[in-house]
Amino acid sequence: MKALCWNGTNDLRVERVPDPVLVNPHDVIVKVALSSVCGSDLHLIDGYVPTMRPGDIIGHEFLGEIVEKGPEVRYLNRGDRVITVSIIGCGHCGHCQHGESSLCDNSNPNPDYARTAYGHCGAGIFGYSHAFGGYAGSHAEYIRVPYADFNAFRVPEGVSDEKAVFVSDAVPTGYMAADMAGIKPGDVVAVWGCGGVGQMAIRSATLLGAERVIGIDRFPDRLRAAQMKVGAETLDYSRVDIFDALQAMTGGRGPDVCIDAVGMEADSASNAAEDLYDRAKQAVGLQTDRPAVLRQMIESCRKGGTLSIVGVYGGLIDKFPMGAAMNKGLTFRMGQQNGQRYADRLFEHIRNGDLDPSYLMTHRLPLDEGPQAYRMFKEKADDCLRVVFAPQG
């Protein structure tokens, strides 16, 4: 089959690789119909995630049809149209049973990297480096899905492929960001980053009762989409001082909830010196992640407010304003998405018209154009929100 493989920093190639096979009794093989790029893929392509190996197939957000199933798969059948949650759970360990499947004890077959770096290992993730299990990703014609009964969800009738595919990753990530922040009626929520995840966080915050949601970005098309599609007020951080603007908009209190939908490659165009400092430290390895958004959230958030972090961080950060966080009594919530907990609820929101993520798919391309597509996505060219590959043509 064809697959989009990572071969080194900024070196993506479309290659012929063997088809995947059933290995374990709870596996299924999915024929991929749609597979989306994701902002967190850029950290892999840029070489910030250290355990990538040449030949790794990337991609973790996908929809397709089950073409083979292992003998122990109970709830799914050949021919089912499914999405698969990008973060793999086993369905049985304590974490999976308590709705924290991204912390699964069993789905990462390669736990030593994470245990060494983090103390404990988290779940396996499709196409997301060997620290997260080394699973082959979905930018391919076929993909093996382990523990399929737990990770794959049948798409309900009446929900199109274009709406459903994002329930794999972007929608539950955004929804979880809003959900774990404990939004209460009347809350003002600020969301840093208006990519796919940020926009889904904005919509979810409203669904969960936020009074106002403020989206922060610097790309005009994203700010426009956040305004038009999910009803955010918007701020362009390259033009205004975010702290001042947020205080002005909230009567000097600051937002009740601040959501980070950016992660480790944040830039702070509003503060060139800080950005240069972070980039320099990152370049010589004295920190792995750029914390510009985190610093801004801690400063801007109201006293006693909540920071909810779904942007991906990999390692260490420097100049973390712990004093501000502690003295302001902030609560931090964070984590990779637990999509298994949300998939049914999200399909319900899509079915009754509360949520329509299909507009995120600004480009639909064959897999052969993978390398160029990622370039366009990274440069945010052509108003690209998300490229979705159709590997079957």
Partner 1 sequence: MASNSLTGRGRWPQPDSFLSGLGSELGSGEAATGGRWLAMMGGTALGVIGLRRSGWGGAMLALGGAGLFAVGALGLRPLGERSLRAVPNPGAWRSVPASRRRSLTPERTQAVVTIASEPGAVFRFWRNFANLPKLMPQLERVDVLSATESRWLAKAASGGEGPSWRCVLDRVDEDRLLTWHTVGETALPHRASLMLSPAPGDRGTEVRLTLVYRVPATEVAALLGVTPEGQAEEALRRLKQRVETGELSTIERQPRGNGSGSFREATE
Question: Segment 37-66, which members bind Zn ion (CB under 5 A)?
Answer: 38, 40
The one among 1, 22, 93, 316 contacting Zn ion by CB under 5 A: 93
Tokens 């040449």 map to which residue?
Answer: 54
Q: Does 10 bind partner 1 (CB under 8 A)?
A: yes
Distances (CA, A) of 337 to 156, 169, 304: 21, 8, 24
* Residues between 352 and 371 that touch partner 1 (CB under 8 A): 371
Q: Does 96 bind Zn ion (CB under 5 A)?
A: yes
Q: What are phi and psi of 247, to 5 degrees?
A: -65, -40
Residue 164 tokens, joined: 């459903």
The packing angle between helices 242-249 and 292-300, to 10°, is 30
- Residues 165-180: b if buried by 16+ CB within 10 A, e if exposed: bbbbbbbbbbbbbbbb
Task: Of 251, 247, 252, 246, give the one whose Cα is nearest residue 233.
Answer: 246
Q: How far apart are CA 145 and CA 232, in angstroms?
A: 36
- Residue 286 interacts with, from Zn ion, partner 1, none (CB under 5-8 Å by kind): partner 1
Binding region for partner 1 (CB under 8 A) out of 84-92, 152-160, 289-297, 318-326:
84-92
Q: Does 324 bind partner 1 (CB under 8 A)?
A: no
Binding mask of the shown chain, residues 347 to 366, with x at each position contacting Zn ion by CB under 5 A: --------------------
Query: What single-letter amino acid sits at 278?
Result: D
Site for Zn ion (CB under 5 A): how many residues?
9
Binding region for Zn ion (CB under 5 A) out of 30-38, 152-160, 204-212, 233-241:
30-38
The one among 57, 90, 148, 387 contacting Zn ion by CB under 5 A: 90
Query: What single-letter amino acid sits at 42?
Result: L
Binding region for partner 1 (CB under 8 A) out of 132-140, 253-261, 291-299, 352-360:
132-140
Q: Which is nearer to partner 1, 50 or 209 (CB)?
A: 50
- Residue 9 interacts with, from partner 1, Zn ion, none (CB under 5-8 Å by kind): partner 1
**Chain-centre distance for alpha carbon 295:** 21
Tokens 């922060």 map to which residue?
Answer: 216
Residues 190 and 379: beta-carbon distance below 8 Å: no
- Residue 77 interacts with, from partner 1, Zn ion, none (CB under 5-8 Å by kind): none
Task: Of 208, 201, 253, give the one whose Cα is nearest residue 216.
Answer: 201
Q: How far apart are CA 240 and CA 261, in angstroms?
A: 19
Q: Does 15 bind partner 1 (CB under 8 A)?
A: yes
Q: Does 346 bind Zn ion (CB under 5 A)?
A: no
Binding region for partner 1 (CB under 8 A) out of 23-31, 242-250, 262-270, 272-280:
23-31
* Residues between 144 and 183 that touch partner 1 (CB under 8 A): 144, 146-147
- Residues 98-108: b if buried by 16+ CB within 10 A, e if exposed: eebbbbbbbbb
Q: What are phi and psi of 69, to 5 degrees?
A: -140, 150
The one among 122, 124, 198, 357 contacting partner 1 by CB under 8 A: 124
Task: Of 153, 163, 142, give the one whose Cα is nearest residue 391.
Answer: 142
Binding mask of the shown chain, residues 142 to 171, with x at each position contacting Zn ion by CB under 5 A: ---------------------------x--
Q: Which is nearer to Zn ion, 93 or 240 (CB)?
A: 93
Q: How far apart are CA 226 and CA 236, in angstroms?
A: 12
Q: Which is nearer to partner 1, 254 or 370 (CB)?
A: 370
The one among 67, 75, 92, 324 contacting partner 1 by CB under 8 A: 92
Chain length of the chain: 393
Q: Does 375 bind partner 1 (CB under 8 A)?
A: yes
Binding mask of the shown chain, residues 24 to 63, with x at each position contacting partner 1 by CB under 8 A: xxx------------------xxxx-x--xxxxx------
Q: Does 71 bind partner 1 (CB under 8 A)?
A: no
Q: Does 388 bind Zn ion (CB under 5 A)?
A: no
Please list, in sequence order, all residues whose beta carbon lies within 8 angstroms of the beta carbon of residue 156, skipping any fewer than 6 positions away.
347, 351
Q: Does 284 bind partner 1 (CB under 8 A)?
A: yes
Residues 242 and 296: beta-carbon distance below 8 Å: yes
Site of interaction with Zn ion (CB under 5 A): 38, 40, 89-90, 93, 96, 104, 106, 169
